[in-house]
Amino acid sequence: MNLTFFNQFTSPQIMGVPLIMLALLAPSAMFQTQNNRWLTNRLSLLQLWMINLFTKQLMSPISKTGYQWSIILTSLMIMLLMINLLGLLPYTFTPTTQLSMNMGLAIPMWLATVLTGLRNQPTASLGHLLPEGTPNLLTPILIIIETISLFIRPLALGVRLTANLTAGHLLIQLTSTATFTLLPTMPTLSMLTMVVLLLLSILELAVAMIQAYVFVLLLSLYLQENT
């Protein structure tokens, strides 16, 4: 039974070829391409409004030197959001439930923010490792603690996204299994379980959007410290 529940997190294959790349490219089909029309439709206007709103909110606390990251962070946010939402559809695969993929996104982006700070303002970036006014006796200990917390950041980014999405998918599958199992014997309890399943599905929609936003928001905070 446990093996069946966790089979949903394995990458599907056709003739031994993993389909995870197809799942990663699927969100790009949700956005319209540029055209030569003077007037755009409501969907493209809504997409443009949401992207502009998110970009302004994300870049507002960052200095002008960090504005060049806006395209990268916005594209990452859109990709994670669409992957998380498409993964909630039946008979689909969610790549962001794989820790390897999330770490593959978190480590290079975190490392890029750190290297940006070391290149542009090395003194200020290294100054984050030692808070101002620290006693001399505590200086070596605090430097070690801050260094460890710095290197834990990408691990926390990847594990947070993986754990939240995995837990939500497991809860939905367990509740749906209980709903179908109780239907022949206890239909009333099965209906109550179906209501719980509906509420969990709505909650998982919110979690999918929030986790994509939190992932990019934390990256922007790391960038703010280094610009």
Residue 212 falls inside a structural domain: yes
Give 46-57 pLDDT, tens digit per residue: 878 888 888 888
What pLDDT is recorded for position 103? 92
Q: What is the CA radius of gyration of the chain?
A: 22
Residue 1 falls inside a structural domain: no
Residue 50 falls inside a structural domain: yes
What pLDDT is recorded for position 23? 63
CA nearest neighbour of 158 among 112, 103, 121? 103
Helix (H, G, I), strand (E, B) or coil at 199: helix
Q: How confident is the model at residue 66 (pLDDT cuts 50, 70, 90)?
A: confident
Give the pLDDT mean for 123-152: 82
What pLDDT is recorded for position 109? 93
Q: Which residues pair with 18 in a beta bridge?
A: 13
What pLDDT is recorded for position 37? 63
Q: Which residues pair with 76 in a beta bridge?
A: none
What pLDDT is recorded for position 43? 72
**pLDDT of 14 strictly over 90:** no
Mean pLDDT of the chain: 82
Residue 120, CA distances (Å) to 65, 66, 73, 117, 128 in order: 10, 11, 20, 5, 15
Paired sense of beta strands 13-14 and 17-18, if any: antiparallel
Question: How many domains would you assign to the chain?
Answer: 1
Question: Would you give the DSSP letter of residue 184?
Answer: T
Give residue for tokens 């290294």: 126
Residues 212, 95: contact at Cβ < 8 Å? no
Which domain range does residue 165 map to?
A: 7-226
Residue 57 falls inside a structural domain: yes
